[in-house]
Structure 1
Amino acid sequence: MELSPPPPISGGDFFKLNFDGSVKNSVAAAGFIIRNEYGEPMIAGARSFGETTINVAECLALRDAFWIVRSKDFQKILVEGDSKLLIDVMQGTSGVPWRVMSIIEDIKNIARSFDCISWTHVFHEVNFVVDAIMDVGFQHLG
């Protein structure tokens, strides 16, 4: 499986966001990468969160990425993540787990500021670049 650039879409100016969260030895980290319409990396980020669940880590990864996307005034976003639950929640096809409700509300509030968002669930193997970025978050615990 390959990480691919966003598909050509009329109007251009689309940005592709891949995010991921992970828990290793009870410590969580998250990462993301934002690419332009040609698949070129624009921004990447990672951080650790200490002890939490995988669902919380995934949500925090997306929220962190959305803060950056909003700060750069990117308006057309193609979101890909390997958390089927989070993608389903954001598409409105699944209920929100109570443990992540406040983070999901933050994400939804930020999402309302964008002109267009597309949500796609991808297999974990597609997120290998984000996994490498996320390892930086694990290395900088504290």
Structure 2
Amino acid sequence: MQRKLAGWKGCFKLNFDGAARQGLAVGGSVIKTHNGSLVATYMRNLNGHSSNQAEAMDLAWVVHFTLSMGIRAMDIEGDSKLIIDAVTTQDKLNKLIEGIARDIIRLILGLDSFCIMHIYKEGNGVVNVLATLGLMDSSLKC
């Protein structure tokens, strides 16, 4: 499930991540322009969820947020293969995130063009730091 982008220029890049530990879950995202300029960064507390659920919830929220900003073309990158697979291979949805994955699919299909891909944790460093910071201090907001 990918609509290929016509080109990088005019497209935005979204990185997302989630983390969970001891009943606390956090989602974090970064949105950049095609030339790497920061548009928005975001971190929120998602108490009581697993890291996979936090990551899926974060992706759903941030895609909704970007659509509300008028962003219509986006490369989406995340380091959770489970979440990427749940969204791109709709027939193999993980039961814990099935409803959230269906929401993400519906939201992503509202974009004019997109590409969603798995990247390794090393390529997702900024949002990983956001999620980790949120676990260390749940009062932090971004």
Q: Normalising by structure 2, what TM-score? A: 0.85
Deviation at 1:94, TM superposition (A): 6.1
> CA deviation digits over 1:82-136, x for unaligned, max 9?
0001111222276111211111121111112101110111111221111222245
**Amino acid corresponding to residue 123 of structure 2 in structure 1:** V
Partners of 1:48 and 1:72 in 2: CA distance = 22
Match of 1:20 among 17, 33, 58: 17
Cα distance in 2 for partners of 1:111, 1:64 equals 11
SS in 2 for 1:52: coil
- Give the equivalent residue in structure 1 for 2:7: 10
Which secondary structure state, in structure 1, belongs to the residue aligned with residue 65 of structure 2?
Answer: helix
Q: Tell me what 2:74 maps to.
A: 77
Alignment CA distance shift 1:100-1:136 (3 Å): same
> Map of 1:46-85 to 2, 5 A cutoff?
46-85=43-82
1:41 aligned onto 2:13? no
User: 5+ residue gaps in structure 1?
Assistant: 1-7
Alpha-carbon distance change, 11 to 44 in structure 1, aligned in 2, over 3 angstroms:
closer
C-alpha RMSD of the superposition: 2.1
Local SS of the residue matching 1:23: strand
Following the alignment from structure 2 to structure 1, what is the Cα–Cα distance between the partners of residues 60 and 72? 15
Corresponding residue pairs, total: 135
Question: What percentage of aligned pairs have identical amino acids?
Answer: 26
Aligned mates of 1:33, 1:9 — CA distance in 2? 22
**Alignment pair present for 1:127 and 2:129:** no
